[in-house]
Amino acid sequence: MTASPSVARSKESSPKGGVVAWAIPVAIVLAGVALRLFRLDHQSLWYDEIFSLAASGGSWLQMHALLVEDVVHPPLHYYILHAWMSFFGVTAEQARLVSVIFGALSVGALYLLAKELFNRRTAVIASILLAVSQIGIRYSQEARPYSMVLFLSIAASYFFLRSLRSGRASEWWISAALMAALIGTHYYGMFAAISLAVFGVVVRKRYPVPVVRWIGAAMLSAAVLGGWLATGVLREALRSPKMALEPASQHWYTGLTILNEFNNGRVDGFYTAAPWWTFAVGGVLFSLPALLALTRKKDGAGEGADTTAETFLAVQFCLPLVLGIVAGFVVNFQAVRYIGFAIAPYFILCARGLDRLKSPMIRAGILALAVGYSAYAMRAIYSIPYKEDHRAALAHVASHAIPGDCFVITPAEARQVPWVWSIYQPGLPPLKPTPLDAAMDPNSSCSRVWMIAVLKDNMYKLRWARTARQRLESAYSLASRQSFFWIDVSLYQREKTVAAR
């Protein structure tokens, strides 16, 4: 096949030298690494991260059984985490370091993708925006699959475009393998695959792809997903309460709130509504340049300038966003982290819009303001608590517990709390939960009862804690109570004469 023209790739003069040409992107990646390593262990492990460590830190069979039961995500990230922790230990820092690595690789991969689409300056700006991104940093500091999803989506897009431009089969199959890995990491990875397929259909006349390649790529992804579903996870999903469909709770402005998060708008914390002014500031610094990239027709080449690259980015950004919102309406749950990989095409659009500005001073000024605003938004990651403080709460329990104590735990957390106890208190005996009814039995051996209530913004958990506290206080006296972030720890001692319940 004759090599096709570059997909809207701008002509550039040769760099003065290889070392100089790569010094800037390397520096940006290193800055991204530093931002992702900073205060990596400052926040305690939260519910989902605890599951990641508990599943991946066990044996292969134990991990597989937990993943099938959980049904939420495909297994590839857990497999990688399992292999990593087998060498380096089951700790919060090691688990999160895997995400740091994928987050840093994403910055470098985005540079290559933007350069493939446009030019070096656009690539530099795009990689800077990702390096300081609130979403990019946050999910690079979590022992969850989202930074891996981001990297795989960028890498798959890069080789997909390279294969269209060159016609080489090797690059096509690398892209297909990366896309299959993406789907094997997160179900929403299918939205990225659909976006690439849609773009391929749109440009099929200019960049024809043999049908056998499309079929092969589809079969590879289907084999990965089908193989996972065949393990029993599909059967488990059909009876799991996690998959119960409920009326949608999203709003007409959900797309705007997601876009504001892409624009680093959660400046006051992730569980506090974004201030109204962040929509305006983010819109000017990020969305307006992205819109400029999509609407401006002239570019050095004149009226006939190629806009294939802009079309690619628009499809890659808009389609996953729309599909993610629709999926959220269906299952009554939406989290920006599920479609966070769409920040990659979005930031390239932002960078392209800035690159098209004629004034270098205005371009540099807007970029500096965007970086400064992003740095201000980092306070939500580094300074404002947003994860349940299991570490401090359980350290308090460990320092005051005595043999014979009983532990009553929020039912929804009855498995997670013992797991995180084994992570943060590895030298102590396992923490065994006691059902509330058993603790209330006058004949129980519980002379002291710890109530560990995880209250994370959940009315069910709050009601349970209120009821449990009332019941315990009818048979025990309150000895102490400590509050940690989203966790309440109370110690009760049995009265000499047990009151009738």
Per-residue pLDDT tens over the stretch 18-54: 677 789 999 999 999 999 999 999 999 999 999 999 9
- Looking at the predicted structure, is the pLDDT value of residue 72 above 90? no
- Looking at the predicted structure, is the pLDDT value of residue 426 above 60? yes
Q: What's the average model confidence in pLDDT over 224-233?
A: 93
With a CB cutoff of 8 Å and minimum separation 6, the contacts of 353 are 288, 289, 290, 291, 292, 293, 296
Longest dimension (CA), the chain: 91
- Looking at the predicted structure, is the pLDDT value of residue 14 above 80? no
Residue 501: predicted pLDDT: 38
Helices (H), 184-307: 189-202, 211-228, 234-239, 254-262, 276-282, 288-295
- Looking at the predicted structure, is the pLDDT value of residue 2 above 60? no
- Looking at the predicted structure, is the pLDDT value of residue 247 above 70? no
Cα–Cα dist 193/127, whole Å? 23
Residue 335: predicted pLDDT: 85
Residue 361: predicted pLDDT: 97
Q: What's the average model confidence in pLDDT over 181-197?
A: 97
Mean residue pLDDT of the chain comes to 90
Give strand ranges (E) for 368-420.
406-409
- Looking at the predicted structure, is the pLDDT value of residue 3 above 50? no
Looking at the chain, the whole-number percentage of residues with pLDDT higher than 70 is 90
Q: What's the average model confidence in pLDDT over 290-318?
A: 77
- Looking at the predicted structure, is the pLDDT value of residue 401 above 50? yes
Structure tokens at 398: 């460990």
CA distances 417 to 399, 460, 497, Å, are: 16, 17, 31
Q: What's the average model confidence in pLDDT over 394-413?
A: 95
More confident residue, 471 or 14: 471
The pTM of the full predicted model, rounded to 2 decimals, is: 0.93
- Banded model confidence at residue 206, pLDDT cuts 50, 70, 90: very high
Residue 460: predicted pLDDT: 85
Cα–Cα dist 221/396, whole Å? 47
More confident residue, 306 or 279: 279
- Banded model confidence at residue 456, pLDDT cuts 50, 70, 90: confident
Cα–Cα dist 423/45, whole Å? 10
Residue 234: predicted pLDDT: 85
Q: What's the average model confidence in pLDDT over 479-495?
A: 94
Q: What's the average model confidence in pLDDT over 375-393?
A: 96
DSSP 433: B
With a CB cutoff of 8 Å and minimum separation 6, the contacts of 82 are 56, 57, 60, 63
List, as one string, the DSSP characters of 298-327. Answer: -BTTBTT---HHHHHHHHHHHHHHHHHHHH
Residue spans per domain, the chain: 18-382, 390-494
Residue 295: predicted pLDDT: 85
Beta bridge partners of 492: 449, 478
Residue 494: predicted pLDDT: 84
Looking at the chain, the whole-number percentage of residues with pLDDT higher than 90 is 80
- Looking at the predicted structure, is the pLDDT value of residue 447 above 80? yes
More confident residue, 254 or 138: 138
Cβ atoms of residues 182 and 149 within 8 Å:
yes
Residue 236: predicted pLDDT: 86
